[in-house]
Amino acid sequence: MKTPLLTGLCAAILAVSACAPSAPSAPSAPAATEAPALGSAATVESGQADGLETYSALVSAAHPLAAEAGKEMLRQGGSAADAALATLVALTVVEPQSSGIGGGGFLIYHDAESGRTFALDGRETAPEAARPDMFVDENGEALPYRASQVGGKSVGVPGNVRLMQKLHRRFGKLPWARLFDPAIRLAEEGWEVTPRLHEMLTRSQERASLTPWARATFFTAANEPKPVGTRLTNPALANFLRHLQAEGPNAFYSGRPASLLVQAVVTAPVNAQRMTTADLSNYEAKWREPVCGDYRGYRVCGMPPPSSGGTTVLAILKQLERFDLAAMGPDSPKSWHLIAESMRLAFADREKYVGDPDFVSVPTAGLVADGYTTSRGQLIDPARAAESVEAGTPPGAGDMAFHVQPPDGGTSHFVAADRDGDVASLTSTIESVWGSGLTVNGYFLNNELTDFSFLPTKDGRPVANAVAAGKRPRSSMAPTIVYAPSGEVAFAIGAAGGPTIIAQTAKAIIGVVDWDMSIDEAIDAPQLYAALGPVVLEEGSEVAAYADTLSEMGHQVATSSLPLKANGLARRGRGWVGGADGRGEGAVRGLR
């Protein structure tokens, strides 16, 4: 059945973002997974005719100025960690609607010296005042989703600055203060309104203009978004970044900055909510064990819960291993049918089982176990879409309720690689576009708590992603590093765009591994997204031409302008090439 054209992701997708689980590691040392023994030569030789520049070190990010900030760290001898962190801070300035220090993030890091893979969780937490029924009305029904996103109720304790602290302490080479120089310069000297920023201001004007500071910064006196090309400055953010630069990361979580953040939440003009300075001072980023598994001889390592990215991407891939996608190629509707069916199965498991592993038992290993993914893959009919899909019973699964939360999509992904071979794959978010709409010290606060399931129980059973004090909401973020059969890093990938992050990441991996695409080609390839609603085809793309064929195979099909924004890099010879989604404003910047 083919449904009418949908105008946006939120209208098209009837599923929700989520996460995946894993046991927490001891806080004293980073958790890591041994990568296969490193090979001495790269799997992809330089000089390929794809037009990609080969660099000794590079950054790929969603905004050229943020990529330049990371490149500046590499030029000064910084590590991939330094480059990624400078990029994160710069995105707070130039991509305020999607990312920054007011939110949280997840990181996968390859340490070339040890050959190990690390996972770092900087996801926001619910304040101590949060309760399981905080998004439930007096009749026991879930509150309206969109109305709950704005204001204080949705704000989680930001985790990105603690993530920065832990990553810099373990893998940074440059002084802490150096990471802030490019962002401070941008905030003081200014940057231009891009078409994307202008579009986000126009589409979400009510939220973007919630506070007087935001109205004065991004809107004209007539309350219109400032035109494309207008030069913006952010002296409030520049001053605050100088404070963090001089005083260190603790300055974000204590003193006057913490008090101002709390004040913004508890006195919010909409949905004011309790939060205390103790909520901030008690926050910790956590090293966790990466989720790793094999796909056609490659080793895929991603983020464990509370992100669903790692387990869901791996499940999609492993369920497809019995099919010869390479022979079918990207121009076959059958390939996209199979990918859609695998996504549907993986998303069903994600919705039922994934939550914060510090609060619920998540069958992380079971969700990606070879036997389980093989059995799930056997459910895929090569010629016909299943009428419905249900969650399976992976090893270690508990009796959890199946519950779907509406999707959303802000976020920014970026990657960095240095001359020593370290690689960072980092996804950062404030959740929805413009987050909660609340601002403090020149940056936007997240609305991450609406990533929780609004109903704590369903049919008498607990919901894995229910709200709890101190708990981290599940996420769709999927920073990923893929190792070649030789053991070296083959490529790193990730994306922005709510639950489509998982679909974009899986598609890019299939593009490189199965369809022999460069990282840039794999990112730019057309996109399909399938969760628990219709199969959504990227409007105007090659895959949209298969709508009738997929409909004849039993799929409910819709087209939409999906929020696509992926970034990646790949090894080439002894250097690196980068990819940035041509549908966005991303860029690759590197050193020769």
Sketch out the chain's domains with CATH numbers.
Answer: 9-288+408-461+469-525+567-591 (3.60.20.40)
Determine the pLDDT at residue 211: 98
Q: What is the pLDDT of residues 322-331, one digit of tens each?
A: 999 999 999 9
Coil vs helix vs strand at 102: coil
**498 among annotated binding-site residues:** yes
Distances (CA, A) of 549 to 6, 270, 333, 337, 543: 19, 47, 7, 9, 10
Determine the pLDDT at residue 41: 28
Distances (CA, A) of 298 to 36, 324, 486, 512: 10, 16, 9, 11
CA distance 428 to 104: 6
Phi, psi of 157 (to 5 degrees): -65, 120
Whether the CA torsion 233, 238, 239, 240 is positive or negative: it is positive
CA 451 to chain centre: 13
Taking 70 as the pLDDT cut, the residues of the chain under it are: 1-50, 402-410
Quote the DSSP letter at residue 518: -
**DSSP codes, 389-412:** ------TT---------------E
User: Can you point out the beta strands (E) in 447-585?
Assistant: 457-458, 461-462, 480-483, 489-496, 528-529, 535-538, 557-560, 565-572, 575-580
Within 13 Å, how many C-alpha atoms sit on residue 388's CB side? Answer: 2
CA distance 576 to 416: 10
Q: What is the pLDDT of residues 351-374, one digit of tens each?
A: 999 999 999 999 999 999 999 999
Could you tell me which of 450, 404, 447 has the C-alpha nearest to residue 429?
A: 447
Rg of the chain (C-alpha set): 22
CA 329 to chain centre: 27
**Residues 379, 504, 49: CA angle, nearest 5 degrees:** 115
User: Can you point out the beta strands (E) in 18-115?
Assistant: 32-34, 57-61, 104-111
| Dihedral angle of Cα 516, 477, 486, 294, to the nearest 10 degrees | -90
**DSSP codes, 15-26:** S-------PBPP
Determine the pLDDT at residue 34: 58
Do residues 470 and 419 make contact, with C-beta atoms less than 8 angstroms apart?
no
CA distance 308 to 174: 32
**451 among annotated binding-site residues:** yes
CA distance 206 to 219: 11
pTM, full prediction: 0.92
CA distance 571 to 54: 9
Do residues 187 and 442 make contact, with C-beta atoms less than 8 angstroms apart?
yes
**204 among annotated binding-site residues:** no
Q: Which of 194, 411, 480, 559 is catalytic?
A: 411
Could you tell me which of 258, 87, 77 has the C-alpha nearest to residue 167?
A: 87
- Reading the block at residue 127, the tokens are 């304040």
Residue-averaged pLDDT of the chain: 91
Do residues 19 and 465 make contact, with C-beta atoms less than 8 angstroms apart?
yes
Q: Is 3 a catalytic residue?
A: no
4: left (phi over 0), alpha (psi -120 to 50) or beta: beta
